[in-house]
Amino acid sequence: MPRQFFVGGNFKMNGNIKTITEIVQKLSEAKLDSNTEVVIAPPSLYLLLAREHLRKGIEVAAQNVFDRPNGAFTGELSVEQLKESGITWAILGHSERRVILQEDNSFVANKTKAAIDGGLGVILCCGESLEQRESNKTIDVVTTQLKAVADKVKDWSKIVVAYEPIWAIGTGKVATTEQAQEVHAAIREWLKKEVSSEAAEKTRILYGGSVTEKNSGELAKQPDIDGFLVGGASLKPAFFDIINSNQA
């Protein structure tokens, strides 16, 4: 069975009631590739708004989730709270949280385990800095991030990996098609060796980092690129073209 193409839209800390309602309405009305799984991640304040107005078949993700079921954890959301609200995915390990909020590999792994155990799907982000790329440490950095999760999670059937080179996020720079495919292939090889052949074959690996409607078609043709995690472009009409890029 071929892996189903997957496109996630990470709104980050952008949007308001008006703009997100408009995006959700347009998404619901758009002619999208029926063979592509689509998930959007608005700010937490608008998760219910998005879920209530979005058509069936498009899912909603939280941009974060905590690793405890409840308690005195100000500002956090639990897996159960998300599930009760119809939110089926969570984005974890995004470089902005790793870098700005200092979330380490172990914490990301704990949150991933909590989400998976609780029945959420996880878009698990990994990626290297420009300094690490230039020091030829890309594969070491990425697989170390993934290994922390593999040490705690054995079932990868609800995990979608998103490779996002930090130097390409929001910079306008994008990894070349060859660079992206090389890392995706290395991740798949690592999954085969460290998790299982089944995980390597079935786990979808997304590319993220200044994805646009102009480069998505070529990237989508690569054998180990199974979709995209889109940032800024997910707030624009170009998002529809990116969703449909696997049809080309």
Q: Is 164 a catalytic residue?
A: yes
What pLDDT, in 10s, does the model give residues 46-90?
Answer: 999 999 999 999 999 999 999 999 999 999 999 999 999 999 999
| Residues making up the chain, counted from first to last | 248
Query: Per the residue annotation, which of 37, 59, 128, 164 is the catalytic one?
Result: 164
- Please state whether the predicted TM-score (pTM) of the whole model is above 0.95: yes
What pLDDT, in 10s, does the model give residues 230-241?
Answer: 999 999 999 999
Q: Is 94 a catalytic residue?
A: yes
- The domain spans of the chain are 5-247
* 3-state SS assignment for residue 207: strand
Can you list the positions of beta strands (E) in the chain?
5-10, 36-41, 58-62, 89-92, 121-126, 159-163, 205-207, 227-230
The confidence band for 103, taking pLDDT boundaries of 50, 70 and 90, is very high
> Could you tell me which residue, 68 or 173, shows the higher pLDDT?
68
Query: Per the residue annotation, which of 37, 59, 94, 128 is the catalytic one?
Result: 94
Domain 5-247 top-level CATH class: alpha beta
Q: How many CA atoms lie within 13 A of 48 on its CB side?
A: 5
